Chain A
């Protein structure tokens, strides 16, 4: 097995991995990144509904009452996200657990993250959508809220020169969306980082060595971990990376799965690995606009329709959004029929065609993202397959029912007709009971002040494993009520700054 030595090995290339790679490479460390998914760039993207294309990059983790979606490709989810880039509101950082303890570690709040949000926003060219570019669906959503006296704000996006094609989630063919392979990753490479794709980390193993003196510089730090990897193409060759510092940035599912697979080698890991997953309790409802209401447009304009309402954040712990989606996503996500439709075959046949013909201009979908507690857990089988389990309790059922009722009331009080939506599971069967689906999963290896409460310190270092860090969404300890990418990136910038401060790579000894 070939062995590669590096100062810092970073697993993953998404929002949690890109910032440490860039900052550590700029600081003089020899950085190697490995990515399980394929290399991808703007020219590889298509404006398509071809499931084969989407399944090349997108993955799902099914489960009980919750299902997760994420991407496996260079740049992680950044190639396929809606580019919504919002700072988490203060109330998200102030959430308490069932015992009344703050979920976020002491001293970590919005004010502490703001300098890193600034940095991340500059890197991704984040700005508020100009009023003149708000898509029709966003304006219709604003009108629905305005009619009821509710506030709405223009959202913020990581984009330059948006063409409004409506295909954000299949990858921006114009290179307008600020995916990480347009900024962080090439800058990291320019600073000396190396990136390998189609390479999966199988296990992380500590190397036996004398306990190091505290506060060694990076160059003085011994090689402390080996990571066994396997190529996902060709001969499926195995490689061994040996590193002084290892940073896990493979995402909430990927990082927890890797650590759980490595537990044999890392017996002191916290029992919280794979647990405490938060998911922004997403609830969706759909309706048809009443006659006389301006047209929406489900298919054109940026995928996220430009507007967010914080009106219910303090009172209900939710933000409310309009939602746009391509036919592929809508049809494969839910069986839809007009509420009260008498024909049994409402989700197919002529009634369904009539509904589908109204989808583009007359259908409005609302979603709420909520501060639901971090109650889900990953269950990883011996063959590495993960499922997510979300125990339902009365409070969560009540949250779902109340939130749905609120969203439906917004539609009904505007004169909309409701569209029944039976959301489908991975086998395209209607989900039974309450079910959440999200791409905003965080927290499987959460930060905590004590090992009894989490997996990593507030600096991202795994308890009892010096030099082993987690820097991705897995460390975020709570739901955020807004899209998670900017917070993951800002927190990764913060963790990267801490690692640089700790190891001072620029004062490293000459390479061996």
Chain B
């Protein structure tokens, strides 16, 4: 036991709990048994996670270096699950299409994700969180204050706009009757 690595211990615990109903399985247990390669091979995991992000946001630039960064960012809560998540995508892709997830076309990848979102509650939660994280990281541009997200016209921070760009000309034409003299309703 002394020589057992933490990773092996987690796998062992995962096997013990394999008989439990998956819907009731805590995420920590569910994610404890998966191929070691997804923890050891960062390139493999990154490729799968990038393909996932490009399925959630199909118009995102494929070469965006930050596309999958949030999944493994140690400051964000998804990182402990990233390896398992990538392995689960790979497993589902293999089962359904006999092809690695990252080599599927968008429609096939979307089918894999839809299948997971229709699975047990724990899997739904994992995939729902991953989708949200991909969207937040990309649309909000969380890794560069000034970059924003060109796809949705979000410029990010530190871009000054003249007043004319912020409002419409002749603003009075938009206004209906006001009920107060100064904005405070008595």
Q: Which residues of A contact B (CB under 8 A)?
A: 46-52, 86-87, 89-90, 110, 128-129, 131-136, 139-140, 142-143, 145-146, 149-156, 163-165, 167, 170, 173, 294, 297, 299-301, 308, 310-311, 313, 326-328, 331-332, 335, 344-345, 347-350, 352-353, 356-357, 359-361, 424, 427-429
Q: Is the CB of A151 within 8 A of B153?
A: no
Please name 6 further chain A to chain B contacts, defined as beta carbons within 8 Å, in addition to the given A110-B186, A328-B142, A353-B59, sorted by A numbering. A50-B143, A136-B168, A299-B155, A301-B166, A347-B131, A424-B132
Query: Which of B132, B171, B172 makes the CB contact (< 8 A) with A331?
Result: B132
Please, which residue of chain B has its CB at the minimum distance from the CB of A164? B166
Query: What CA separation (Å) do A294 and B145 show in the bound complex?
Result: 29
Q: Is the CB of A328 within 8 A of B151?
A: no
Q: Is the CB of B183 within 8 A of A353?
A: no
| Contact of B165 with A by CB under 8 A | yes
Q: Is the CB of B163 within 8 A of A132?
A: yes
Q: Which residues of B contact A (CB under 8 A)?
A: 55-59, 75-76, 110, 113-114, 117, 125, 128-129, 131-132, 135-136, 139-143, 145, 149, 151-161, 163, 165-168, 171-172, 174-180, 182-186
Query: What CA separation (Å) do A163 and B151 show in the bound complex?
Result: 25
Q: A51-B142, A344-B114, A348-B135 are in contact. Are A152 and B163 (CB under 8 A)?
A: no
Q: Is the CB of A353 within 8 A of B140?
A: no
Please, which residue of chain A has its CB at the minimum distance from the CB of B184? A87
Q: Is the CB of A89 within 8 A of B185?
A: yes
Query: Which of A47, A150, A153 makes the CB contact (< 8 A) with B183?
Result: A153
Q: Is the CB of B153 within 8 A of A327?
A: no
Contacts of B177 in A (CB 8 A): 151
**21 A–B contact pairs at CB < 8 A?**
A49-B157, A131-B171, A134-B167, A134-B171, A142-B176, A143-B174, A156-B184, A164-B161, A165-B157, A165-B161, A167-B157, A170-B157, A311-B179, A327-B152, A331-B135, A332-B136, A344-B117, A348-B56, A348-B113, A352-B57, A356-B152
Q: A300-B166, A353-B59, A428-B132 are in contact. Are A327 and B176 (CB under 8 A)?
A: no
Contacts of B139 in A (CB 8 A): 327-328, 331, 356
Query: Which of A155, A301, A349, A360 makes the CB contact (< 8 A) with B55?
Result: A349
Query: Which of B75, B151, B158 makes the CB contact (< 8 A) with A356?
Result: B151
Contacts of B155 in A (CB 8 A): 299
Please, which residue of chain A has its CB at the minimum distance from the CB of B109? A349
Q: Is the CB of B167 within 8 A of A357?
A: no
Contacts of A429 in B (CB 8 A): 125, 128
Q: Is the CB of A51 within 8 A of B76?
A: yes
Q: Is the CB of B160 within 8 A of A132?
A: no
Query: What CA separation (Å) do A134 and B143 show in the bound complex?
Result: 31
Q: Is the CB of B184 within 8 A of A332?
A: no
Q: A48-B145, A153-B179 are in contact. Are A142 and B174 (CB under 8 A)?
A: yes
Q: Is the CB of B58 within 8 A of A350?
A: yes
Contacts of B142 in A (CB 8 A): 49-51, 328
Contacts of A428 in B (CB 8 A): 128-129, 132
Q: Is the CB of A310 within 8 A of B185?
A: yes
Query: Which of B145, B172, B175, B186 makes the CB contact (< 8 A) with A50?
Result: B145
Shortest distance from the beta carbon of B124 to any chain A beta carbon, whole Å: 8
Please, which residue of chain A has its CB at the minimum distance from the CB of B139? A327
Shortest distance from the beta carbon of A60 to any chain B beta carbon, whole Å: 14
Q: Is the CB of A156 within 8 A of B182?
A: yes
Q: Is the CB of A348 within 8 A of B131?
A: yes
Contacts of A143 in B (CB 8 A): 174
Contacts of A310 in B (CB 8 A): 179-180, 185
Q: Is the CB of A89 within 8 A of B186?
A: yes
Contacts of A360 in B (CB 8 A): 152-154
Query: What CA separation (Å) do A335 and B56 show in the bound complex?
Result: 13
Shortest distance from the beta carbon of A217 to any chain B beta carbon, whole Å: 37
Query: Which of B117, B131, B157, B176 makes the CB contact (< 8 A) with A149?
Result: B176
Shortest distance from the beta carbon of B13 to any chain A beta carbon, whole Å: 23
Q: Is the CB of A328 within 8 A of B136?
A: yes
Shortest distance from the beta carbon of A388 to any chain B beta carbon, whole Å: 22
Query: Which of A51, A134, A163, A357 makes the CB contact (< 8 A) with B160?
Result: A163
Please, which residue of chain B has its CB at the minimum distance from the CB of A174? B160
Contacts of A350 in B (CB 8 A): 58-59
Shortest distance from the beta carbon of A322 to any chain B beta carbon, whole Å: 12
Contacts of B113 in A (CB 8 A): 345, 348
Q: Is the CB of A146 within 8 A of B132?
A: no
Query: What CA separation (Å) do A361 and B110 show in the bound complex?
Result: 28
Contacts of B163 in A (CB 8 A): 132-133, 164
Shortest distance from the beta carbon of B171 to any chain A beta carbon, whole Å: 5
Please, which residue of chain A has its CB at the minimum distance from the CB of B149? A327
Closest 7 CB pairs of A and B: A47-B157, A146-B176, A49-B140, A328-B140, A139-B174, A327-B139, A301-B166
Contacts of A352 in B (CB 8 A): 56-57, 135
Contacts of A344 in B (CB 8 A): 114, 117
Query: What CA separation (Å) do A110 and B186 show in the bound complex?
Result: 8
Q: Is the CB of A301 within 8 A of B185?
A: no
Q: Is the CB of A154 within 8 A of B167?
A: no
Contacts of B145 in A (CB 8 A): 46-50
Q: A49-B141, A429-B128 are in contact. Are A331 and B136 (CB under 8 A)?
A: yes
Query: What CA separation (Å) do A356 and B158 show in the bound complex?
Result: 22
Contacts of B166 in A (CB 8 A): 133, 135-136, 164, 297, 300-301
Contacts of A326 in B (CB 8 A): 140, 154
- The listed residue with most B CB atoms (<10 A of its CB), out of A135, A167, A349, is A349
Q: Is the CB of B176 within 8 A of A150?
A: yes
Query: Which of A294, A300, A328, A331 makes the CB contact (< 8 A) with B165?
Result: A300
Please, which residue of chain A has its CB at the minimum distance from the CB of B60? A353
Q: Is the CB of B176 within 8 A of A151?
A: yes
Query: What CA separation (Å) do A47 and B151 show in the bound complex?
Result: 19
Q: Is the CB of A146 within 8 A of B157?
A: no
Shortest distance from the beta carbon of B104 to any chain A beta carbon, whole Å: 14
Q: Is the CB of B183 within 8 A of A86?
A: yes
Contacts of B55 in A (CB 8 A): 349
Q: Is the CB of B110 within 8 A of A136?
A: no
Q: A128-B183, A331-B139, A357-B152 are in contact. Are A349 and B56 (CB under 8 A)?
A: yes
